[in-house]
């Protein structure tokens, strides 16, 4: 039997594409009727190189006089991208002397647009990666030799490559999510052939994602990442140099109180949490699981809802729908069990590569400024021990 209490999941209900997953259709490069924001986005790398971001923004009476009534969702996302990069550029322009206050001409529109998008006013993964790319040739697919960033901090090969690797992985996850949902829907309807086909599609996508992640060091050097890319994506929660957080001047809702928000991190991507939930991989409580739960607040609301829907998909015994179905048939359908184990193993491989990168790109780097600590991630949490623990817990599923 399958699950009688499960409503089949449909990706499009959650603004997710079967072809490119959580990525939107080509993000907007320019904002209509917003010349100052467009100019700021274009000039930001040069202003940051010259340490003129604060002076430039302080000299503007307004960055966005009002939000045009004609704006669509993609316009809001483009504005959020520019304001988020500008906000972090303003704060971290001088890494060891961060600004503790944002001026109202930056803080107010950033808050208003973030509120509209259902995310906090801080640079999150959605603005840093999901909404931050264009194709060089619009007739060709989203792939590493055809995508570049719309917005940078300093620019340069290492920064560009670091982010486009993430974007390519997001694109490759699309068919994987399609396969995962096919397998889950098949389990709910007691259709083992559908479950098997879905798992095969998921494994193919995971293999492509793993192979892309393995290419990170081709054009992103650990030293350059740590010293030229990473300083700008920190934020203001658990920050050694902004212990009280950041004041958003002019934002009435904050009443002048400093806000503590997490920095941009790949932990805000929905891919791995969805795979964990869909494959029935659980993690014993630890500081990282608490942190990962908090990271959902930084995801686009529809992606957050999709993750929750996968987590809530259970069988009649209250077990995770897909893994429960497969385990119940393990003895008389070993082919299904093997396909499931392949997906779990590929997720473990992905995590293993990530642990290695966290070590070489962050943990083993020489810390110069307190604002860019090597012992904690950009989200502000210690990471090495807990990343390894989550890897071990993934592998343990295969031994159960």
* pLDDT tens, residue by residue, 38-54: 999 999 999 999 999 99
Q: Taking 90 as the threshold, does the pLDDT of residue 380 lie above it? A: no
pLDDT of residue 217: 97
Q: Taking 80 as the threshold, does the pLDDT of residue 5 lie above it? A: no
Q: Quote the DSSP letter at residue 388.
A: H
Does residue 216 contact residue 238 with C-beta atoms inside 8 Å? no
Q: What is the pLDDT of residues 61-85, one digit of tens each?
A: 999 999 999 999 999 999 999 999 9
Question: 132: closest CA among 38, 272, 23?
Answer: 23
Query: In what helix (H) or strand (E) does residue 260 lie, and over which residues does it extend?
Result: none
Q: Taking 80 as the threshold, does the pLDDT of residue 167 lie above it? A: yes
pLDDT of residue 1: 53
Q: Taking 90 as the threshold, does the pLDDT of residue 293 lie above it? A: yes
Query: In what helix (H) or strand (E) does residue 242 lie, and over which residues does it extend?
Result: none
Assigned fold of 11-399: Methane Monooxygenase Hydroxylase; Chain G, domain 1 (1.20.58)
Bridge-based pairing state of the strands 134-135 and 147-148:
antiparallel
Place of tokens 């007691």: 190
Q: Quote the DSSP letter at residue 100.
A: S
Does residue 262 contact residue 122 with C-beta atoms inside 8 Å? yes
pLDDT of residue 344: 98
Using CA atoms, how far apart are residues 374 and 382, in angstroms rounded to an integer? 9
Indicate the pTM of the whole model.
0.97
Using CA atoms, how far apart are residues 211 and 203, in angstroms rounded to an integer? 12
Place of tokens 């869909």: 278
pLDDT of residue 253: 98
Residue environment code for 9-37, b if the CB has 16+ CB neighbours within 10 A, otherwise e? bebeebebbeebbbbbeebbeebeebebb
């Amino acid at each position: 039997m399958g699950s009688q209490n499960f409503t089949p999941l449909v990706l499009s209900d959650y603004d997710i594409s079967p072809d490119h997953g959580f990525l939107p259709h080509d993000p907007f490069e320019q904002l209509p009727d917003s010349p100052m924001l467009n100019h700021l986005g274009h000039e930001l790398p040069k202003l940051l190189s010259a340490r003129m971001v604060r002076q430039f923004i302080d000299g503007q009476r307004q960055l966005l006089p009002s939000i045009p009534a004609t704006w669509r969702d993609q316009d809001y996302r483009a504005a959020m991208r520019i304001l988020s990069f500008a906000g972090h550029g303003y704060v971290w322009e001088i890494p060891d002397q961060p600004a503790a206050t944002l001026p109202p001409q930056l803080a107010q529109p950033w808050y208003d647009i973030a509120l509209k998008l259902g995310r906090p006013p801080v640079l999150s993964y959605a603005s840093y990666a999901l909404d931050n790319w264009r194709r060089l040739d619009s007739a060709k697919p989203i792939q590493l030799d055809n995508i570049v960033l719309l917005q940078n901090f300093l620019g340069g090969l290492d920064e560009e490559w670091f982010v486009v690797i993430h974007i390519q992985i997001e694109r490759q996850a699309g068919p994987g999510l399609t396969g995962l949902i096919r397998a889950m829907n098949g389990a709910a309807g007691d259709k083992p052939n559908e479950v098997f086909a879905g798992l095969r599609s998921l494994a193919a996508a995971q293999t492509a994602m793993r192979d892309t992640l393995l290419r990170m060091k081709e054009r992103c050097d650990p030293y350059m990442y740590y010293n030229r890319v990473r300083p700008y994506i920190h934020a203001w929660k658990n920050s050694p140099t902004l212990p009280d957080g950041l004041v958003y001047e002019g934002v009435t809702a904050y009443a002048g109180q400093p806000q503590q928000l997490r920095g941009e991190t790949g932990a805000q991507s929905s891919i791995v949490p969805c795979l964990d939930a869909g494959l029935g991989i659980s993690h014993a409580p630890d500081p990282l699981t608490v942190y990962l739960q908090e990271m959902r607040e930084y995801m686009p609301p529809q992606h957050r809802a999709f993750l929750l829907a996968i987590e809530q998909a259970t069988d009649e015994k209250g077990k995770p729908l897909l893994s429960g179905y497969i385990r119940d048939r393990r003895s008389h359908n070993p082919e299904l069990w093997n396909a499931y184990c392949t997906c779990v193993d590929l997720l473990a491989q992905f995590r293993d590569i990530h642990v290695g990168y966290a070590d070489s790109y962050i943990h083993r780097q020489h810390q110069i400024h307190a604002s860019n600590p090597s012992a904690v991630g950009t989200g502000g949490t210690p990471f090495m021990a807990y990343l390894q623990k989550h890897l071990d817990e993934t592998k343990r599923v295969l031994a159960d």
